[in-house]
Structure 1
Amino acid sequence: MKLSRRTKSILVMIGGLAVIVLTWNGLGQHYPQINEWLYLPERLYRTLRTLMGSDPVSSSLPPENLPWQLTLVKIVVTLALLAGMYRIAQKLFVEYYTQFRLLFRRNQILVIGINRKGQALLADLKRTHDTTGVAIELDADHSNASALRRDGHLVYFGDGTQSAVLQDAGIRSARFMICFLDKEQTTINVVRALHQITQKNPEKYQVRCFLHIGNAKVSTMLQQSDYFEDEKKNGIDLRFFNHHQMIARQFFARLAYDYAQPMRDPNAAFRLIVFGAGETAKALLVQALQVMHTINPASPDIIVYGADAEHAGRQLAAEYPGAAMVSSIKYMPFDGAYDHILNELVIDPPAHLVPVVIAAFDDDSVNLKLSLEILHATPAAAFRVFALNYHNDGLNALLKSRQSRLNRLTFFGSLESVCQVELITQERLDVTARSIHEDYLQQLAPQQGSLSESDAYKQSWDMLNEQAKDANRAQADHIAYKLAMCGKLAALQEQGAGVQEALSFTAEEVEMLAQVEHTRWMAQRYLAGWRYGAQRDDQRRLHPSLVEWAMLPEAEKQKDRDVVLRIPFLVQGHRAKPSV
């Protein structure tokens, strides 16, 4: 009969304890006087020698009047043996000890891999949530293992793409599992292993699994699909995330605070100048189209510079056909020369122009070089520059430590800032999104005749599909922008119990923000593939409210006003200023 690793671990631990207990008791029977406290060091010494292969009764006990110097030496030697045995046990029996501890872990968080991403996730778990996790690592000699164990995490060595390893690591009792790996094929193999587990014992599992997918659009489509309903019925809830999207979302969550003052200006014209045409740059563009909606309906103006900008434009149009309905994006070739770009921003800028310059090439060093060159070529009081700094090493790390002296340069998107459990699970954000949806359901009661409602959106939060949940999350993301437009963002951070009173809106502010909310809602729908239709059709993604504010029925306008009026009751989870 083949024994599992868990069974072997239990047997080894029981065997080791049995040897210690039998030796301890046997010494007491063979040498009755050793039961006295005087001989405690001798008893410990002989027990340890037994574990090392020596005969515990090969010599007689020392006399009672043994000089204290020799007794002290024996105590020191015994302590040294204990330390040595502990080190040996760590090396030889760490796997068995880890397995033994896993027997008693419940509601744990599993992380596949202890590469830099896995290590950052576990560090965030310890720092932010004051708890430890369980890591599964293929490389038994990985250099990060010792440091993670010192922080209290359990590191279990094995192939996470094997169902037996996942079971031994405690997938059955896990709260959730995160798979944030470089190789997508490995992630797919993890899904296969989970499928094998649930097929054998479908009633035993109830765990969420967060899987990283490298392509942002594919990640979104998988998240909103019903391809994995069988796994969900069997207790494995597969959820997908993409780090480019997380970087973009985190960046624009902070942007409302950085530009709170100009957002109050109804004439402010934001211009996003994005250098780079890679996956992160594309994710930034999509997020900008979703949340950068201010008082000025013509804002934002978006320009993308990159060596392959035209191809990136065609790709974005293919993936998001509705993007053209939200804002016009200009794609310009970039060969490294930026003088003509800066001249318009510095020498003769248009009135009320608010530039947001973002260096988002795939290479951190290119972003740093371009950002420093722009800073040196423009006046000290000019616009800010944001530089993507994913790996946060080399000169970038050195300059980031001097961030206070680089007032106009802001780094964002570091691996450590992205590898946050909350960003992946969205648990705190979903508290606000859930409240938004519950308010929406309450508003439906007096509006049964509304043209724009469908049964798919009338369900409870737990029964909603992911596309409907994302719509509520997008609305939650825009709360800070609405507050900034009214000059109330500072009150959100400073007020305590009176936050709701401090955030009350005037009638003019409600009407203005309701129009902005309608524009934001249309943008989110267009990006999700919806179009105008006289009758709502969720299958064909047609909606009668995809029209300008002036053409909306009064009942639909009131919904947007209600969204604004409910903000003071929804901001409890938005107190903290996001970091980058």
Structure 2
Amino acid sequence: MSDTGNARRRSTSLWAQHEWSIVALAAAMAFLLGCWGYALAMSPSAAGSEHTWWDVVYASFQLFIFEGPDATAGWPLQLQIARALAPVVLLYTAAAAILKRTETQIALYKLLFRKRRFVVVCGIGETGFRIAKQYLRHSDKQVVVIEKDPMNPMAAELAKWGAIVIFGNAMDPVTLDRARVVYAKEVFLCTHDDQANIAAAKAIDRLTRVLSDSDMAAMAKTVQRHEPHLAGEPPYVGLRAFLCVDEPHLYDVFANHPFFAHATDRFAIRIFNRKQTIARNVFSRCAPDMYYMPREESQPPMHVLFVGFDNLVGELILQTALTAHYPDRRRAQITVLCGDVNRERVQRFLYRFPHLESVVSLKTSFHDPLTLSQAQWVDLQREAPFSVAYVAMREDVDGILAARRLNRHRRQLGEAPVNMVVCLNQQTFLAEIIDDDFLPIIDDKSSLPAHEPIEYFETLDETITIDVVVNDALDTLARTLHNAYLDTLAQTEPAQTAAENASIVPWSALPAHKKQANQHAAAHIATKLRSHGCIACDESDERPAIAFPPDESAMEVLAQVEHRRWMADKQLAGYDYGDTRDEDFMTHPDLVPWEKLGESDKEKDRSNIRQIAGLLAMQGKKVCASG
């Protein structure tokens, strides 16, 4: 938002905060000036005066209802000011009272002139509150909030920031229609009830179907004027719905449901897996290889410790399996340290991903992190020392105490520092009062102190943002990656059809699991760059661009890394080796080691490496040396 917009919002907020104090002060001033002026004009204290002090007070009150004298020539200036100020105060108060009764209706009516320039947030909890506040503070879009609980203090706070608050049920089509939801640019379904979110999504889908062609044409012009193109594709004209889901099994069900694959020119829905997005965001700033990068077998393998086993830890493990493919060609080691109460949860997680242990070496230790002994700490690192530890427990206070205890074991045993990242749920105020042992996320890991390398990651504030949830940079890069794949196929295999290869469709028609595969490939570009001392910089960066890959030797290593990454992605998705490619039976003939891969298939991996610099250029970036 511009500085002018910020200044206007601050001034509006200041007036709203002190409005009635100012009105009360003006009323008191009008009354006192009236008393002063009438006292001078009536002289109630003079001998023989026909007026009393009660007459002065009564006459001053009459000023507020236009009962002042008509002819005031020669009357005191104080009375002249009071006669003008008092009715103005009364009129303002009456107008404010009327406006207060109708301001929501007026604001909602104005939305008809802001089609595709506002958003609707259903459910003001941890996620909905942050999304709404992000739009209020960092965009020019109006925000409409639908909240069921009229006593929700977060809804009241958003109203102070300028949101239009409607109290009602987000599943009710009448409430949705009142919020003008069909004309919104985005709608966020963030209630605590997943069934309510789905019902609301279906109701919104039905409402969008009755939009007229003229309405859609007018909104298309608005979108084209205000929204940027993404990866060379025009912006989406319809209403985008974001459905928040935390439970992994529900996400699996929703991701494969036909309704969520349904997209028209009027309505498209995207499932927002909060824990998955948080895990991906954690790794974008705190990936294991940022702390330690094994480059040859003489070095210890990557060994990652996860403390706790909430849904977030499961997603972090998957991120490790999808990204931990380093030049030393060994599987990363993962140790999970959690209480025995998590045993069933761990078993269910492993059941969901039966091929996980073919991608990473996984070990689970069912001990309470808060009571772990030094001997048990040593035993956990019997095979290799920990490279980095991620602490993500259900309660923030437990995570903070666990990190301190494990770090104390390390110091008392005289071990080398272990970088720790504590993921805070931000459900309490603890993130604001943790002491100097904990540091906010530092992008330059080389500047971390050696004595207490503990960083804390505020999961909600860092993740529930417009840039991460809506303007997903990774999704844009994945879209660019897919379009480049289509261009390559058009040149190399022009006769291939969608029946032979389900990926030969535009991005908008791509199945959810194939979109996710492109996202995984896009996310791993940063890992490949770091493995050879490179990073992606903006084109405006003063550092010079360098060639990537740097040489043919690096090319061959990176191509092998890409193949291992691709295999991991397929295996975690449930694919097995098969003589023929079959999407229904989930088999693929290329799920073999690099040495057994045909030369043409190896060349595909090499081509994927060669195009990295070009893909980044399409995003306005270049490859630079990280030093």
Q: How many Å separate the matches in 1 of 2:239 and 2:383?
A: 54
Matched, 1:315 2:351: no
Structure 1 stretch 356-365 or stretch 408-417: which is displaced more? 408-417
The corresponding residue for 1:511 is: 556
The corresponding residue for 2:114 is: 105
The corresponding residue for 2:366 is: 333
TM-score (norm 1): 0.80
> In the alignment, residue 129 of structure 2 is paired with which amino acid?
Q
Shift of 1:470: 0.9
1:532 to 544, 553, 577: 577
Q: How many Å separate the matches in 2 of 1:452 and 1:512?
A: 32
What does 1:458-537 correspond to in 2, within 5 Å?
458-489=504-535, 492=537, 496=541, 500-501=545-546, 503-537=548-582
Matched, 1:156 2:166: yes
The corresponding residue for 2:278 is: 247
> In the alignment, residue 459 of structure 1 is paired with which amino acid?
V
Q: How many Å separate the matches in 1 of 2:421 and 2:552?
A: 36
The corresponding residue for 1:92 is: 101
Shift of 1:519: 0.7
Structure 1 stretch 527-536 or stretch 460-469: which is displaced more? 460-469
Matched, 1:571 2:616: yes
The corresponding residue for 1:119 is: 129
The corresponding residue for 2:207 is: 197
Q: How many Å separate the matches in 1 of 2:81 and 2:346?
A: 79
User: What is the CA deviation profile of residues 342-378 of structure 1, one whole-angstrom value per residue up to 9, with x for unaligned ones?
Assistant: 32578x884xx55221222211111111111122232
Shift of 1:395: 3.4
User: What is the CA deviation profile of residues 19-38 of structure 1, one whole-angstrom value per residue up to 9, with x for unaligned ones?
Assistant: xxxxxxxxxxxxxxxxxxxx
% identity of equivalent residues? 24
Q: How many Å separate the matches in 2 of 1:407 and 1:81?
A: 63
Rate the CA distance shift 1:227–1:120 in 2: closer, same or farther, 3 A: closer
Rate the CA distance shift 1:255–1:495 in 2: closer, same or farther, 3 A: farther
Rate the CA distance shift 1:575–1:443 in 2: closer, same or farther, 3 A: closer
Q: CA RMSD in A?
A: 3.4
User: What is the CA deviation profile of residues 247-293 of structure 1, one whole-angstrom value per residue up to 9, with x for unaligned ones?
Assistant: 2111111124x743632633451111112122121111122111222
Shift of 1:570: 2.5
Rate the CA distance shift 1:493–1:86 in 2: closer, same or farther, 3 A: same
Rate the CA distance shift 1:162–1:355 in 2: closer, same or farther, 3 A: same
Rate the CA distance shift 1:224–1:192 in 2: closer, same or farther, 3 A: closer
> In the alignment, residue 317 of structure 1 is paired with which amino acid?
L
> In the alignment, residue 81 of structure 1 is paired with which amino acid?
L
The corresponding residue for 1:21 is: none
Structure 1 stretch 501-510 or stretch 525-534: which is displaced more? 501-510
Structure 1 stretch 292-301 or stretch 197-206: which is displaced more? 197-206
Q: How many Å separate the matches in 2 of 1:200 and 1:545?
A: 47
Q: How many Å separate the matches in 2 of 1:269 and 1:385?
A: 18
Aligned residues between the structures = 518
Structure 1 stretch 479-488 or stretch 436-445: which is displaced more? 436-445
Matched, 1:212 2:258: no
DSSP 3-state at the match of 2:421? strand
Q: Do 1:518 and 1:560's aligned partners in 2 also have CA atoms closer than 8 Å?
A: yes
Shift of 1:74: 3.1
Rate the CA distance shift 1:470–1:68 in 2: closer, same or farther, 3 A: same
1:262 to 268, 274, 292: 292
Structure scoring higher RCO (CA < 8 A, sep ≥ 6) equals 1
Q: Do 1:322 and 1:527's aligned partners in 2 also have CA atoms closer than 8 Å?
A: yes
The corresponding residue for 1:47 is: none
The corresponding residue for 1:434 is: 479
Shift of 1:153: 2.7
TM-score (norm 2): 0.74
Q: How many Å separate the matches in 1 of 2:111 and 2:140?
A: 19
What does 1:13-24 correspond to in 2, within 5 Å?
none
1:276 to 297, 302, 308: 308
Rate the CA distance shift 1:268–1:425 in 2: closer, same or farther, 3 A: farther
Q: Do 1:264 and 1:486's aligned partners in 2 also have CA atoms closer than 8 Å?
A: no
Shift of 1:428: 2.3
Shift of 1:466: 1.5
Rate the CA distance shift 1:426–1:541 in 2: closer, same or farther, 3 A: farther
Q: How many Å separate the matches in 2 of 1:139 and 1:200?
A: 30
1:226 to 258, 269, 279: 258
Q: How many Å separate the matches in 1 of 2:550 and 2:179?
A: 52
Shift of 1:197: 2.6
The corresponding residue for 1:422 is: 467
Q: How many Å separate the matches in 1 of 2:300 and 2:497?
A: 33
DSSP 3-state at the match of 2:363? strand
The corresponding residue for 1:369 is: 401
Q: Do 1:264 and 1:487's aligned partners in 2 also have CA atoms closer than 8 Å?
A: no
Shift of 1:381: 5.2
Shift of 1:517: 0.9
1:286 to 313, 318, 326: 318
Structure 1 stretch 366-375 or stretch 415-424: which is displaced more? 415-424
DSSP 3-state at the match of 2:417? coil
> In the alignment, residue 510 of structure 2 is paired with which amino acid?
L
Q: Do 1:301 and 1:328's aligned partners in 2 also have CA atoms closer than 8 Å?
A: yes
Q: Do 1:156 and 1:169's aligned partners in 2 also have CA atoms closer than 8 Å?
A: yes
DSSP 3-state at the match of 2:364? strand
> In the alignment, residue 331 of structure 1 is paired with which amino acid?
T
Q: Do 1:383 and 1:408's aligned partners in 2 also have CA atoms closer than 8 Å?
A: yes
Structure 1 stretch 311-320 or stretch 286-295: which is displaced more? 311-320
